Amino acid sequence: MYTSFQSLMDDVAACEKCGLSKTRTHTVFGEGNIHAPVMFVGEGPGRDEDELGRPFVGRAGQLLDKMLASIQLTRNDVYIANVIKCRPPGNRDPEPDEAAACIGYLRAQVAFIKPRIIVCLGRISAKYILGQDIRITRDRGVWHEAKGFFIMPTYHPAALLRNELLKKDAYQDLLAVRAKLRETGGLTR
């Protein structure tokens, strides 16, 4: 459908498919290495992300950077995006019609980037990528294989900020991501 990554970015920037377009400051397309072997996908932008037009730049984003560093990765090694590209008012969960309006953009990003691994950050991301029956506390850390991708749900960094006891499990998930990167040839160091 899209002839270039730039045309996809332009389409997202001009999107008016749902009501979130009326309340956003910026769309938040995503950022990182467009040839990344791993893609981290959150649910949607928060206040800081909406202001700057960049994903994961607030407190949860700072923690995500530390999480990546714990497995010797940086934002330059991965691609970071969200299911929805505009901030829901009050940081509420995206409505099903909002996610439906945006999911095609995420699918197009995945098609261009072609990661080997997709890490779903939190329940909402896992729900729209893996299906309705995902429960993050039950299903985190479990690999799913679909359409040639290895997909793992884990805790969203914001959940780790609210409950530090979850950090140990999240770290184990990240170690599994690093191991899968090595196994699939996506990591050489």
The percentage of residues in the chain with a pLDDT greater than 90, rounded to a whole number, is: 93
User: Span 144-168, mean pLDDT?
Assistant: 96
Full domain range(s) for residue 56: 5-182
Report the pLDDT value the prediction gives residue 189, as an integer from 0 to 100: 60
Mean pLDDT of the chain, nearest integer: 95
Domain count, the chain: 1
Instruction: Tell which phi-psi region holds residue 30, choosing left (phi > 0), alpha (psi between -120 and 50) or beta.
Output: left
CATH number (domain holding residue 75): 3.40.470.10
* Best CA proximity match to 100, nearest among 81, 123, 84, 119: 84
SS3 state of residue 7: helix
pLDDT confidence bin for 125, thresholds 50/70/90: very high
Distance CA 37, CA 112 (A): 12
Decide if 34 is inside a domain.
Answer: yes
pLDDT confidence bin for 136, thresholds 50/70/90: very high
Decide if 38 is inside a domain.
Answer: yes
Decide if 189 is inside a domain.
Answer: no
Decide if 160 is inside a domain.
Answer: yes
Chain segment 106-115, per-residue pLDDT in tens: 999 999 999 9
Decide if 49 is inside a domain.
Answer: yes
Chain segment 41-98, per-residue pLDDT in tens: 999 999 999 999 999 999 999 999 999 999 999 999 999 999 999 999 998 999 999 9
